Structure 1
Amino acid sequence: MSTALNFPLGPIRSAITEGLHDAAEVIKQEAIERAPKDTGYLRNTAATAAEGLEAAVGFDGPYAVIQHEEVGFHHQDGEAKYLENACIAKKEVVGQIVAEAIRRSIG
């Protein structure tokens, strides 16, 4: 026995994209707070993008990856793995944000 869902997929996909964008913004803000701060340049390069069923958070600059990956650096303000740790810290919130966007779209 099967049950057909009568929801149009277009609005649901749009809601997922919207939810992913909002979730990426939450992760970005957490990552900004965790990113090493010397001049503030790294924190100011944070950006998000969402398209379809994918979203991304990133930092730009010649040393963004080095600052993220090098756990041996001492930071007076911030930490290594700032983006990874932000994702881990906000993983439950991300699911809730996307779920809420879908719920709104199906009424």
Structure 2
Amino acid sequence: MPRYTLRLDLPQVESDLRPAAARGAFLAAEYVLGESQAVVPLDEAALSRSGTASVDEASLTGAVSYDTPYAVVQHERLDFRHAPGRQAKYLEQPLFQARQQVAAIVAAELRRAMR
């Protein structure tokens, strides 16, 4: 009966997959940004225009942020009135609802890298 030996260079595997994981994290953050854009409060659209997606490649952490002085207040204050279809928790809710899509986006990028 033949014997087979599998040699796995885990540092090399990690090195090869890291760029794909970072790309997946960025694409997933872009997806969440798009979902949040549909519900972000609108007045003069400054808040909406300030939305960005980013990734820290060292920690493989994706982020979605809105950069206005009132972004956090708009997100947290549940008592504010918003236009129809717009809401507080404009990041939290879309991220929670998209968690399966986020995982699928990252997994797809990793699968592409392993081909």
Cα deviation digits, residues 43-76 of structure 1 (max 9, x gap)? 0000111122111100011110000000011101
Quick one: distance in 1 between partners of 2:56 and 2:87?
29
Q: Please point out which of 69, 84, 87 is paired with 2:92.
A: 84
SS of the residue aligned with 2:67? Answer: coil
Quick one: distance in 1 between partners of 2:8 and 2:94?
35
Quick one: distance in 1 between partners of 2:42 and 2:71?
11
Quick one: distance in 1 between partners of 2:51 and 2:14?
31
Quick one: distance in 2 between partners of 1:49 and 1:19?
11
SS of the residue aligned with 1:75? Answer: coil
Tell which structure's C-alpha radius of gyration is larger: 2
Please give the TM-score of this superposition, normalised by the length of structure 2: 0.85
5+ long unaligned stretches in structure 2: 1-5
Offset, 1:83: 0.3
Cα deviation digits, residues 53-105 of structure 1 (max 9, x gap)? 11110001111000000001110141000000110111000000000000000
Runs of 4+ that moved beyond 2 A: 3-8
SS of the residue aligned with 2:91? Answer: helix
* Residue number in structure 1 paired with 2:63: 56
5+ long unaligned stretches in structure 1: none
Size of the aligned set, in residue pairs, is 105
Matched residues, percent identical?
33
Q: Please point out which of 57, 66, 79 is paired with 1:72.
A: 79
Offset, 1:30: 0.7
Please give the TM-score of this superposition, normalised by the length of structure 1: 0.92
